[in-house]
Structure 1
Amino acid sequence: MKYIKIFLGLIVVFELLVSGSQSNQTNQTSQTNELTKPMAKQIAFADWEVGAFIHFGLNPFIGQQHGDGKEPPSKFNPTALDAEQWVLAAKDLGAKYVCLTARHEGGFCLWPSKTTDYTVANSPYKDGKGDIVQEFVDACRKHDIKIGLYHTTSHDANSALKSYEGPVGWGAKRIALLDSVFEDDNRRRRYMEVQMEQMRELLTNYGPIDFMWSDHWGHISTIKMWTPITNLAAELQPDMVFMGPETWVPGNETGHVVYPMWNAVHTVDGTNYTRPAPNKGDVDTENDYGLLEGEVRTGHPLGEYWRVRECPTSRVFHTGGWFWQPDRTFAKELPEHIDLYYRTIGLGANVIINLPPDNRGLIPDDIVAAAKAFGDEIKNRFSNPIAKSDAIPAGGTFELSWEEPTEINTIVLMEQIANGQKVVRYTLEAFLDGKWEPLKPANTFPSATPPYNATPGYETIGHKKIDRVEPVVTNKVRFRSLESVKDLPVELRKVQVFYCEPW
């Protein structure tokens, strides 16, 4: 990465990794001729498809997006906070999981952590007796929503930089400041004691947690930090999906995923503790928001590790940034939201949509309304297929028919990824006037610029592929695999046919 300094001792670090815990490498197939397969929890995570991000903390009260760790907890004073409102808005969105920033990059903890005084316990909220993580967890369980927490080991400005005089900033400057701290073994050790204990509190005190987002996971320069954290997460919550070794981002915060896309990846050092390695043609992207995960990786059909793609959306569902800002955070229009769905879920990825509460502790009304409109529209489009099948024999061809000829323009395919991702190229056809005719793909994403595909055709499927096609009237469609990995028989999990109103 552009902003990350590679340690001269990299080779030594790799040797340490080889001898480290392998607890996160189970169920991965790297030394046989079989394809890599996802763990059961990764398949379940892919089925959740849509998530919601709740970015909340000290930031909305101090006008910062990343937090410098210097502003006092006394400024944190939401007067109408309602975690149930957050969860209900996410449920209306169609989200199956919700992720709260329990502790963002500035270091302010939304629970009364024993590791620091930089917490809600020293704020006016509930006279210092509040625990917003507990309120959030309780609301999720009440409404049957999967629980996600955000905590990032490599960026805790208060713990690492509170004694630094001067602006902390973001991007290259903050990375340089953190690197200077982490080069001192004693300071890094004390810093890691805080990070490990905070992780232990979050993953011990609140019952089962379904998902954890660990921002900036797996940078080579901070791998000494991430290895013990990754192992601790696996030890404390083995059923939890952990962002990094089990999911990965697509190289942007704009809700685009590279296509074709493989969930299996090689990693930069051959272990499950680092980021996906590039293939020929893969790139790193610039990002005006300062994203540190700018690697665009197509994955590899023979990759050793499975990473579900999850697309973050800092300024896609609304204007502004991750955290609410007065006079800047407003919901965008429904057509943009539907396009987001097609270019993420429709290309085999998850999407996590930001719903930021304001300084009252409530998600603004316009974003709540937009979330419901999005959820309603997705239900309207994909709840009643013209035809469907989930009993599909393995093989390269499958036909689906129904009684009356009907206009169609959308076909949804799901691959049986439990046995690996296999489809390289395929075609779709309709039975017209007594013969099979190709269906012409009509996927278009005007907001996608290279390296993202603005007109994806019939290549990878993975968890799900939504193909918009030029409309035809028919009562029979056919899927044909044109190429599969190692010529393995293709296994489809589901085929659905729809007519969706053009957008």
Structure 2
Amino acid sequence: MRTSLLFAAVLLVACSPKKTVQAPTALGPVPSESQLAWHNMETNAFIHFTTNTFTDKEWGFGDESPKIFNPSDFDPNQWITTLKDTGFKGVILTCKHHDGFCLWPSQYTEHSIKNSPFQGGKGDIVKAVSDAARANGLKFGVYLSPWDRNRADYGTPEYITYYRNQLKELFTSYGPVFEMWFDGANGGDGYYGGAKEKRKIDGAHFYDWPTTLNMVREMEPDVIFFSDAGPGVRWVGNERGLAGETNWNTITPDTLYAGQPGITDLLNQGHENGTAWIPAEVDVSIRPGWFYHAKEDSLVKSPEQLFEIYLTSVGRGSTLLLNVPPDRSGHFHENDVAALKGFKALLSNEFRTNVAAGASCTATNVRGELQNFQAGLLTDGNPETYWATDDDVTTASTEISFKEAKPVKYVVLQEYIKLGQRVKSFNIEAYSGGTWRPLASATTIGYKRIIRVNPGDAEKIRINITAAKGCPLLSNVEVY
């Protein structure tokens, strides 16, 4: 009898289902597929080109004659191949700036390239650039200024119809379009069809953005919308190339609108408890101005300056949008090209060899003690795998060990953002000669965080997650 009971007990244990551990659930807002693709692009180019290039202005008043627009040696392939060769993944063209001049032959206005001498009035800059981008594997985006200093009907409901008609032209004739860019410069003095006056609009309501964006989504469902507050990506709050040291990909956009004053800190840093995934895009020009000016030929940012901007944009979890303005010939100036090539060389040199690739890893906690959440996934080179802790563990450490001491200058960290942004603070230590020494401490990680440390050799690197909104999920660690 006792033998039978013992056998039954053993059988019950053997046949009982093993404890299963579920993958972590999403925490807070998460990125859409198009936002994930945008994060992965990392570096894109802005191209400002219009009548301003020929008047030496930054903002035209709208009274410029189309006849002044006549690049002598327009070469979009020079633009795009330069960008491709230096690592850029997409390009956004200023199809219409505040002066209202259109770089395509719009049927809705005479203030366009069709009335310029360029290519006998048959030219189309938008088509040429979009075709060149696609031929070289770059994504194409459009900037269409909501403010128009040329239009007599600006400030009236008729202007909104005009603006939407032009969006229809761009999205149906030049797509696919990966990003639509519009900024907060809205209303002020202008030509306005000869009125030459100052006009004010209600930035929160005049454009009726929800209706406009829904119209665009019907034509391009995966488009990313940039404005001060998104809804796809947000402005970073400055034009200096600086994302916040703390940079949450989430904000609450309900009370924000393009051009609203007093929100730059929120845009720069985001909000830990924001209700929507709207990451920051860092827009900055390679020159002091956004359009080409010969007097700035000696003021092009150096490769070293561009590299610093990379660290304070992509290196803080944002995407870099670097403006490169063509000159009056229709080329990127040789100084700009040299700076871009130097920047690319610096990137390639500084991030040439990831000494953590394939390195062994341990962690103070592994979710359910399962292999599919183990620390070794941090160095496997697969962005779809990640180290995870148990749900109730929000502070934890992981060690990456090298077979021999390695020089360390940069540590790259990435969260598995498909399930949300979680890490609130962390620090990094290095082990050498039997001693752990502190290297750096920081706050958020997000899509990517690049930490530059004082160069030195290390046998191990330890990453300590000191605070997180939920169980931390890290998908990648690289050491250079």
Residue 129 of structure 2 aligns to a residue in which SS?
helix
Deviation of 1:82 after TM superposition, in Å, equals: 0.7
1:156 equivalent in alignment to 2:158: no
Post-superposition offset of 1:274: 3.7
Deviation of 1:228 (Å): 2.1
The answer for the alignment partner of 1:216 in structure 2 is 184
Structure 1 residues 352 and 33 mapped into 2: Cα distance closer, same or farther (>3 Å)? closer
Q: Aligned residue for 1:336?
A: 305
Question: Residue 35 in 1 paired to residue 28 in 2?
Answer: yes
Q: Residue 139 of structure 2 contacts residue 178 of structure 2 at CA under 8 Å; is this kept in 1? A: yes
Question: Structure 2 counterpart of 1:337, which letter?
Answer: L
Q: What corresponds to 2:67 in structure 1?
A: 74
Task: Quote the Cα distance in structure 1 between the aligned partners of 2:477 and 2:152.
Answer: 51
Which runs of structure 2 are paired with 1:26-175 in the superposition (5 Å)?
34-153=27-146, 155-160=147-152
- Equivalent residue number for residue 3 of structure 1: none
Shift of residue 297, structure 1, vs aligned partner: 4.1
Of 234, 240, 243, the residue aligned with 1:257 is: 243
> One-letter code of the match for 1:74?
K
Q: Which residue of 1 aligns with 2:191?
A: none
In 1, the alpha carbon distance for the partners of 2:121 and 2:92 equals 23
**Deviation of residue 220 (structure 1)?**
6.6
Are positions 1:309 and 2:280 aligned together? Answer: yes
Instruction: Pick from 429, 436, 448 the counterpart of residue 464 of structure 1.
Output: 448
Give the corresponding residue for 1:494.
Answer: 476
Equivalent-residue separation in structure 1 for 2:259 and 2:121 (angstroms) = 42
For the Cα contact (< 8 Å) 1:392–1:398, is it kept in 2?
A: no
> Structure 1 residues 48 and 33 mapped into 2: Cα distance closer, same or farther (>3 Å)?
closer
- Kept after mapping to 2: 8 A contact 1:36/1:302: no
For residue 393 of structure 1, report the CA deviation from its aligned partner: 1.8
Residue 439 of structure 1 deviates from its aligned partner by 2.8
* 1:223 partner SS: coil
For residues 128 and 300 of structure 1, the distance between their equivalents in structure 2, rounded to whole angstroms, comes to 49
Q: Which amino acid is 1:468 matched to? A: R
* Aligned partner letter, 1:402: F
Q: Which of 463, 474, 477 is the equivalent residue of 1:479?
A: 463
Match of 1:242 among 221, 225, 228: 225
Q: Give yes or no for contact 2:397–2:464 (8 Å, CA) kept in 1.
A: yes
Secondary structure of 1:428's counterpart equals: strand
Give yes or no for the alignment of 1:365 onto 2:358.
Answer: no
2:203–2:258 Cα contact (<8 Å) kept? no
Deviations 1:36-95 (A, max 9, x none): 101111111011111111100111111221111111101111110111111112123321
Normalising by structure 2, report the TM-score: 0.80
Letter in 2 for 1:458: A
Query: Post-superposition shift, 1:334?
Result: 2.0
Q: Aligned partners of 1:106 and 1:386: how far apart in 2? A: 51
In 1, Cα distance between equivalents of 2:274 and 2:185: 19
Give the AA of the match of 2:118. Y
Contact 1:152–1:216 at 8 Å: present in 2 too? no
**Cα distance, 1:350–1:160 mapped onto 2, change above 3 Å:** farther
**Residues 56, 356 of structure 1: 8 Å contact kept:** yes
Task: Indicate the residue corresponding to 1:23 in structure 2.
Answer: none
Q: Return 61-70 or 110-119, whichever deviates more.
A: 61-70
SS in 2 for 1:159: coil
**Conserved 8 A contact 1:414-1:463:** yes
Contiguous gaps of at least 5 residues in structure 2: 1-24, 187-200, 358-378, 390-395
- Alpha carbons 2:425, 2:444 under 8 Å: kept: yes
5+ residue gaps, structure 1: 1-31, 162-180, 183-187, 286-293, 442-456, 499-503
- Aligned pair in 2 of structure 1 residues 323, 259: CA closer, same or farther (>3 Å)? same
User: C-alpha deviations, 1:423-457, integer Å up to 9, x for none?
Assistant: 0011212233345x24322xxxxxxxxxxxxxxx4
Counterpart of 2:475, as a letter, is R
Asked which structure has the greater RCO (Cα within 8 Å, sep 6+), the reply is 1
Q: How far 1:296 moved relative to its partner?
A: 4.4
Could you give the per-residue CA deviations for residues 140-183 of structure 1, whole angstroms, max 9, x where no partner exists?
A: 01110111111122x1111147xxxxxxxxxxxxxxxxxxx53x
Give % identity: 33
Q: CA deviation at 1:247?
A: 0.7
1 CA distance for matches of 2:340 and 2:102? 27
AA in 1 matched with 2:253 = T
- Give the count of matched residue pairs: 406
After TM superposition, the score normalised by the length of structure 1 is 0.76
**CA deviation string 1:255-276 (max 9, x = no partner):** 111221111101243xxx7469
CA offset digits 1:380-413 (Å, max 9, x no partner): 2223211131443212332222211112121000
> In the aligned structure 1, how far is the partner of 2:218 from the partner of 2:249?
24
Asked if 2 retains the 8 angstrom alpha-carbon contact of 1:103 and 1:150, the reply is yes
